[in-house]
């Protein structure tokens, strides 16, 4: 079959790889009909190169049709339409029972000291072949796959894999008080969806921060008050002005490790991509630092006693945080990988609603064949051609 593979930093290709097959009784194999390119895939494109192997298949946002089932699978059959959550979890361990599927104790990647595996996301998360491919093996299919009805376009359901539960979790973790103000920093797919979720959930006021004019315009068209500014001090001043000098009650940080600014951190992270894998991994695990401009903006702009919800992906182990400020402001911080299946009861009615309250049908900016994926990665990384959310149709 053909799949999107990682060959090296900034080197993505479409290549022939072995067809997936049933390996365990709880496996299924699906034919992928749609698969998203996630903003966090761009971290693999360059920054997390030390944890990648040439030929790794990318992608953790797939859906498709069941082609084959393992002997233990009784609730699915060939032809069923399913969405595959990004996490691989068992559904019955201590962590899963508490809605923390990203920490599943059955599937944790213990050799790396990490939580539950993710499809197509490096050695850190299990080196599981991803879903930007014609076919996908789905482990733990007795729990993971989400059956969805026929007759509705993939665009209405594919976001259950990652974008929707991540955004929903981020807003939930933000704990915005009644009639409070939520600031969302970064209006890429996750930040944009977080603003839509927040408005749907009745948050009193939603403000967005974004550098890219295309992304800013997208959110503004949905009723978000958008601040288009580069300088952190200017953003902080603008937020204070909009909130009576107090700051936002809650802030969702949806940018992560590769935010603009922090030139020294950018140089350090670039250096580890050219080292041999063992040396690069050791560097990341000991002195790795993130570009923290977005996170520092979030800390600046949240009010005293407020809540910071971190959705952006971070990978550094020696990040210099302003602990005095966080302590003095009495900020509550919540963060972590999505727990996709935890939020299904909230999300499925919204996805199935004919009124499409979150605007899912028009959320993607580009639909492409598998062969165009390398160019799409480059366009997304450089924010070209209005690319915000790209869906691959193999």
Least Cα distance to 121 among 6, 242, 268 occurs for 6
Q: From CA 29, how far away is CA 131, in angstroms rounded?
A: 11
* Euclidean distance between CA atoms 139 and 69, whole angstroms: 10
Of 3, 52, 1, 9, the C-alpha closest to 371 is 3
Query: Is residue 184 classed as helix, strand or coil in its secondary structure?
Result: strand
Q: What is the mean pLDDT of the chain?
A: 90
Which residues face 69 on adjacent strands? 28
Kindly list the distances between the CA atom of residue 337 and the CA atoms of 45, 100, 182, 193, 310, in Å, as whole numbers in the listed order: 19, 9, 21, 16, 10
Question: What count of other Cβ atoms lies within 10 Å of the Cβ of residue 8?
Answer: 12
The answer on pLDDT for 13 being more than 80 is yes
DSSP class of 21: -
Work out whether strand 2-8 and strand 56-57 pair parallel, antiparallel, or are unpaired.
antiparallel
Q: CA–CA separation, 6 vs 275, rounded Å?
A: 17
**Among candidate residues 192, 196, 107, 189, the one with its CA nearest the CA of residue 144:** 107
Q: For a pLDDT cut of 70, what percent of the chain falls above it? A: 90
Phi, psi of 57 (to 5 degrees): -90, 130
Under the banding of pLDDT at 50, 70 and 90, the label for residue 316 is: low
- What angle separates helix 232-242 from helix 293-301, to the nearest 10 degrees? 30
Residue 318 has pLDDT above 90, yes or no: no
Q: CB atoms < 10 A from the CB of 327, how many?
A: 9
Contact 248, 305 (CB under 8 A): no
Question: Taking residues 332-354, what's their average pLDDT?
Answer: 93
| Mean pLDDT along residues 178-197 | 96
Question: What is the rounded average pLDDT of the residues 97-116?
Answer: 95
When computed from its CA atoms, the radius of gyration of the chain, rounded to whole angstroms, is 20
Measure the CA–CA gap between 16 and 370, rounded to whole angstroms.
12
Give per-residue pLDDT as tens, 199-210.
999 999 999 999
164-335 adopts what CATH topology? Answer: Rossmann fold (3.40.50)
pLDDT classification of 45: cutoffs 50, 70, 90: confident
Q: Which two tokens stand for residue 309?
A: 């919800």
Tell me whether the CATH fold assigned to 2-162+339-392 matches the one assigned to 164-335.
Answer: no
Which band of pLDDT confidence, cut at 50, 70 and 90, is reported for residue 286?
Answer: very low
pLDDT at 262 over 70: no
State the pTM of this model. 0.90
Query: Which of left, alpha, beta for 131 (phi over 0: left; psi -120 to 50: alpha)?
Result: alpha
Whether the Cβ atoms of residue 17 and residue 394 lie closer than 8 Å to each other: no
Provide the H-helix boundaries in the chain: 41-45, 94-97, 163-174, 189-200, 213-221, 232-242, 263-272, 277-286, 293-301, 323-329, 344-352, 373-382
Q: Would you say how long the chain is, in residues?
A: 394
Contact between 40 and 256 (Cβ < 8 Å): yes
Please say if the pLDDT value at position 288 is more than 90: no
Whether the Cβ atoms of residue 60 and residue 103 lie closer than 8 Å to each other: no
> Is the predicted pLDDT of residue 289 greater than 80, yes or no?
no
pLDDT band at residue 226 using 50, 70 and 90 as cut-offs? very high
Contact 208, 218 (CB under 8 A): no
Class of 2-162+339-392 in CATH: alpha beta
150-180, pLDDT tens digit by residue? 989 999 999 999 999 999 999 999 999 999 9
The residue that leads in pLDDT, 350 or 267, is: 350
Q: Any idea which of 41-55, 130-144, 217-231 has the lowest mean pLDDT? A: 41-55
pLDDT in tens, 109-132: 999 999 999 999 989 899 999 999
What are the distances in angstroms from CA 133 to CA 1, 18, 48, 139? 7, 11, 21, 16
Structural domain boundaries of the chain?
Answer: 2-162+339-392, 164-335
* Average pLDDT for 260-287: 49
pLDDT confidence of residue 293: 83
H helix runs in 98-208, sequence order: 163-174, 189-200
Q: Is residue 182's pLDDT more than 80?
A: yes
């Amino acid at each position: 079959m053909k799949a999107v593979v990682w060959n090296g930093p900034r080197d993505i290709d479409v290549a022939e790889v072995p067809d997936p097959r049933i390996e365990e009784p709880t496996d299924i194999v699906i034919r992928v009909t749609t698969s998203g390119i996630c903003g966090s895939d761009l971290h693999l494109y360059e920054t997390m190169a030390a944890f990648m192997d040439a030929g790794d298949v990318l992608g953790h946002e797939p859906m498709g049709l069941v082609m084959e089932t393992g002997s233990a699978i009784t609730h699915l059959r060939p032809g069923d339409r399913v969405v595959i959550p990004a996490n691989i979890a068992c559904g019955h361990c201590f962590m899963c029972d508490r809605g923390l599927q990203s920490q599943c104790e059955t599937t944790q990647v213990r050799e790396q000291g990490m939580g539950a595996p993710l499809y197509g996301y490096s050695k850190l998360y299990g080196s599981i072949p991803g879903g930007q491919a014609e076919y996908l093996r789905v482990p733990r299919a007795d729990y993971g796959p989400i059956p969805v009805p026929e007759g509705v376009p993939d665009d209405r359901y594919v976001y259950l894999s990652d974008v929707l539960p991540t955004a929903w979790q981020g807003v939930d973790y933000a704990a915005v008080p009644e009639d409070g103000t939520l600031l969302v920093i970064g209006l890429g797919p996750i930040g944009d969806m977080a603003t839509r979720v927040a408005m749907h959930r009745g948050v009193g006021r939603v403000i967005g921060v974004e550098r890219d004019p295309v992304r800013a315009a997208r959110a503004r068209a949905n009723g978000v008050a958008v601040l288009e500014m580069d300088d952190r001090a200017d953003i902080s001043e603008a937020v204070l002005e909009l909130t009576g000098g107090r700051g936002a009650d809650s802030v969702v940080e949806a940018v992560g490790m590769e935010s603009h600014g922090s030139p020294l951190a950018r140089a350090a992270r670039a250096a580890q991509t050219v080292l041999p894998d063992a040396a690069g991994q050791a560097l990341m695990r000991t002195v790795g630092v993130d570009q923290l401009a977005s996170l520092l903006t979030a800390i600046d702009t949240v009010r005293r006693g407020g809540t910071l919800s971190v959705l952006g992906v971070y990978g550094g182990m020696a990040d210099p945080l302003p602990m005095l400020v966080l302590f003095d402001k009495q900020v509550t911080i919540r963060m972590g990988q999505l727990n996709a299946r935890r939020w299904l009861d909230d999300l499925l009615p919204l996805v199935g609603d004919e009124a499409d309250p979150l605007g899912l049908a028009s959320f993607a900016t580009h639909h492409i064949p598998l062969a165009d994926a390398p160019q799409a990665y480059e366009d997304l990384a450089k924010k070209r051609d209005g690319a915000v959310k790209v869906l691959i149709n193999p």
